Every structure is written in C-alpha cells, then in structure tokens.
Structure 1
C-alpha cells in the first residue's frame, strides 16, 4: 500500500533552536481539497505514523472524506508517500484515534462513519497494511446518542494494559465527552464514563499516581479548557472543571506523557485559531509552568507523540493565511523549551 520512494517535504527549520518542521500534507495536493484532523502515534518498532482526514471536494466536515497516513522509519527525518487506508466512496470516514498496544504491537484505529457509526481497524505490521473496518457501534454508543466522534488525536494504553479511547457525542442538544476501552487487547470494546455537559473533543493521559486526567474542548463560553479526573481507569469521572491557564478558541487540543515527571499539552493558545503553543506540567497536569509558541500564525488541531529518541512530535494544522493549508509535523527536544 506504499506508493513510491521515501520523500522529503519542505523543511522550515532552525536547527540551532533544536526544532525541525516539515509539511506532511498540503491541501490541494494528491487529489484532496483539504487535509484536516491530525493524529500521530509511534509503533513498537519505532515507526512514526501520521494520520489525517483527506477531504476530497471541500473543507467541510462532511461529504467524501477518507483517512490518510504517512509513515517515517527514521525518527521523522524522511516520510513515505501517502497511503489511503479508509475510503468508503462518498461517505465520511473520519476522526482517527489510533492507539498502540505495547504488549502485542498491534495498532488499533478507531474511527467514525458519517459521525454516526463507530468502527475499528487494526494493523499488525506497523501500519504497512490495515484490516477492514469492523463496526463496534452497539458496544460503545447508546441508542439515545446522535452525533458521535472518536478522538480526534491518539488513545492511550494504561500501565495495566487497558486501551482507552477518548470520544464525544451529542445527546438531544447537549454535547458530552466520553471514553470507551478494551481490557483484552482490542478483542472487545466497552463504553466507559461520560463527562458533564458542554464538553467535546478530548484526550487522556495517565498520571504517575495512576489516575486519569482528561482535557476537553469546552462550550461553556469562557474560552478555557475543561478537565476532569478518573480514579478507576475511565469508568467514572469527577465533575468538570475549567483551567484558567489553558486559553482556547473552542478547538481541539492534545496531551501526552513525556516521562515520569513531565506531561506536554498543545493547542492554539488564543481566542482565535492561531498561536500553536506547547506547555509542560511538572505536577501531574495541575499547573502548566512552562510554555513556548510553536507557530504564532494560523493554527488548528494538533496531536502529540514521543519518538524513540525522546524527540517530541507535534502534528498540527498550520498555514500562512488559514490553518487548513497544511498539516505540519514539528519535532523538537525538551531543551527547546529553554531556548530563546
């Protein structure tokens, strides 16, 4: 399913600042009007997988939308040509939310069809090939729910092996975040806890103490990120709080554990979709004491991953006039935060 040689996209780098940025998907190229909704994970063999939606005819959230993938075998220095891994004609196959099972090496890819049905695909060869989508809607969606979205961004595996997939849905006219999970390495999936109203796209991280922290897009009207905690692996959640530090334009964001002591967070830290910023927490997501702007201009959705050499990868929507112009991968080390 890989077509062609390893290719290098335009580099917009400042090597002295220990950062490299590469445009992976450019709207209008390779047969798609627009690329959106990035997700990135690292396979057990070190392959980096960058997913997104390829929107065939417009930038709209519906219509003919496929799932696209590019892979890197050398920590993001070069990238393979694009693979189209999910295409169902004029239907929307969207909201990729990959998760890597570190125990089996399988990469699971939950996704949605027309923001209604929930499917999962898997790869047993680090993304080279993929299974056909399997419908798991009855296991992870209540009959009273309408609109539904997996992710977008990545899922996580807990220390005990549980796979947790962040999602959101609409019930009546109210938006809620929720998760679903697997305790048998993807053989079956079960619905987990539902968060309070006016929450939406979300990502999850496991704290050093073993609790889960979920960070969510909020519709409370305050331009601040929402968050909550779980002490039982996502089966139940606390009440929802707002973080006054984490300003947002009502947009998706990403969170990932860097090491035992540090968690990273990325989003457009503004009331408009611009100023992509990466932050660091040293106290389990309670405060965000270090931050640095990755891109001051138009910026949208993002996803974070950690490469085998501990390089931080931020796959994000970026442009000069509009954030939907490209999906760019920025790679930098932890020392980049202290560079001036």
Structure 2
C-alpha cells in the first residue's frame, strides 16, 4: 500500500513449506517500507505477536493490495485483508489494521461466513469498508461481500454477490476509482476470472454505485488461447486509466499444467472502455 506521504508499505508472510492449508506450522508476519519508490527497503520488522492469535493454524496476508482510509471514521487507517483457521473454524477472512502509519498493528473483525479467504478491500463513498472474499464453498460460484462500518473492527453485513461469478476458489481484486458524477457514489472496479467452471475469461467489472450493482465490464482475456487467467491486481494510473497485472496461460494443454501459471500479463485499459454493458458470463461447475 502507498501511504499519503508516498511511503510504500509492504506487509508479507513467511512460513515453512507445507503441503496443504490443513497443516499447522510456523507462520510469521513482517512489515517493511520504502521511501524511494521501491529502490531500497527498510529492514523487515516482525509483527506476528500483534496480528496472530494463539490457537490459529493456517494464516494468510493479502495477496491483493491493502488500502488507506480516505475519510472518517478512522481516516488514515491502514487496512490489510487477512485470513486464518483454527480448531472448529474453517478458513475465514479477517482484517488487520494500523492507525500510526504501520508502526503498531491490531487484529480487526472476521467476516460472518466460513470458507472465505484472499479478500480484497475498498472504501465506499460513505466511509464504509467493503471486503470481497474468495468463496471456497463447493456449491457457490460467487464472491462473498462484507461491510464494516467501523474501519474493519467488525463486520455488520455479509452476503453472496450473485453478480460476481467466480470459479470456486480464486483471488480477485477490488479498487475505488473515482466518484461517479451521476450517482454521487463510488466507481468501484473488480477484476477476476469471470467463469464459474474454470479460471478463464479475465474480466474487469465496473460498479457506479458503491458495489450495489455491476452493469459494465471490459473482458481483458478471452478465447482463443492463451485463455487461462488467474490471480490479478489492479491500480489507477496517473491519467485515470486502469492497470491490470494478471496470470495468464494456455488452459487447454493438460501436459503443461504448471506452465499455465508461468506467464504474467500487464495491460492498461482506458476508463471509458469499461463502459459497455456487462456481457453474458460463463456458468458451470467447479474450478479444476
């Protein structure tokens, strides 16, 4: 995340290699910063004791960008989506936050739905936070959305967003672009593989009303090959266009399963090109 001062703050995770998320192992959380656009970095500082509770097992940070609140309540708060599991609780999204520029950290609230992970966060025009989580429930190919009215300390609402299709278990990226001059609410962007069966059809969607509806889109990856699209992150460029960094590859070649993740694409999309009506999206079973 980039702080108002221009400092880049990086929160990251270290752990021993493990085979599955069910295994319990040492996981440590670090923070570091750069004041010269990433040329040099500070020494990593371990914040595990501040953000990890006794009894938690698997723990994750991100992998998407974090945010800084622009308005009250809790203006200036750094919000980092995270996730954990523990005995009796399957994977669930939660927040960690800092009110002093990343010096000290606190554990925030958890969303009211298990089997959620890899959330992405955005601040809405009224100061509320919206978390948008990867959904790992077997029969649900849609994103899980949660609202916090107190800067991530707790989550008041959680629902299944039927307008945002995903293959079961894949990361997505949420971003505030600008205030919409017609609705007076936020232009919110969301990027993910918009296909309920496989990680394909990478699509950038636009909501012009703080995520209440999603009616416009730009499909940045489509058939023919390379048609695999996986994880992505998005950013607003200086001219208002949208940069998309995403995994891509050949979904069809079963002999090259590892190579389908082996290419990273980057494109810049003018904001005006995300103004076409949302096309019909694929539907189907579960992600491979």
TM range (shorter): 0.7 to 0.9
1:254 matched residue in structure 2 = 173
2:79 matched residue in structure 1 = 164
Q: C-alpha offsets along residues 34-89 of structure 1, whole Å, 9 cap, x if unaligned?
A: xxxxxxxxxxxxxxxxxxxxxxxxxxxxxxxxxxxxxxxxxxxxxxxxxxxxxxxx
1:199 lines up with 2:100 in the alignment: no
2:132 matched residue in structure 1 = 215
Q: What is the alpha-carbon distance in structure 2 between the residues aligned to residue 325 and residue 149 of structure 1?
A: 23
What is the deviation of 1:338?
4.2
Q: What is the alpha-carbon distance in structure 2 between the residues aligned to residue 152 and residue 263 of structure 1?
A: 19
1:226 lines up with 2:226 in the alignment: no
Change (3 A) 1:339 1:111: same
Specify which of 309, 312, 329 is matched with residue 266 of structure 2. Answer: 329
Normalised by the length of structure 1, the TM-score is: 0.68
Larger RCO (CA within 8 A; separation ≥ 6): 1
Q: What is the alpha-carbon distance in structure 1 between the residues aligned to residue 170 and residue 44 of structure 2?
A: 28
SS of residue in 2 equivalent to 1:245: strand
What is the deviation of 1:106?
1.2
Q: What is the alpha-carbon distance in structure 2 between the residues aligned to residue 258 and residue 155 of structure 1?
A: 15
What is the deviation of 1:144?
1.3
Unaligned runs of 5+ in 2: 17-26, 181-186, 252-258, 278-288
| Contact kept in structure 2, 1:147 and 1:169, CA below 8 Å | yes
Specify which of 133, 137, 149 is matched with residue 60 of structure 2. Answer: 149
Q: What is the alpha-carbon distance in structure 2 between the residues aligned to residue 338 and residue 311 of structure 1?
A: 12
Q: What is the alpha-carbon distance in structure 2 between the residues aligned to residue 294 and residue 130 of structure 1?
A: 33
2:3 matched residue in structure 1 = 101
2:230 matched residue in structure 1 = 300
Specify which of 223, 241, 262 is matched with residue 311 of structure 1. Answer: 241
Unaligned runs of 5+ in 1: 1-98
What is the deviation of 1:167?
1.0
SS of residue in 2 equivalent to 1:278: strand
Q: What is the alpha-carbon distance in structure 2 between the residues aligned to residue 164 and residue 215 of structure 1?
A: 13
Any runs of at least 4 consecutive aligned residues in structure 1 with deviations exceeding 4 A, and if so which? none
Change (3 A) 1:186 1:326: same
What is the deviation of 1:335?
1.5
2:250 matched residue in structure 1 = 320
Q: What is the alpha-carbon distance in structure 2 between the residues aligned to residue 231 and residue 114 of structure 1?
A: 33
1:120 matched residue in structure 2 = 31
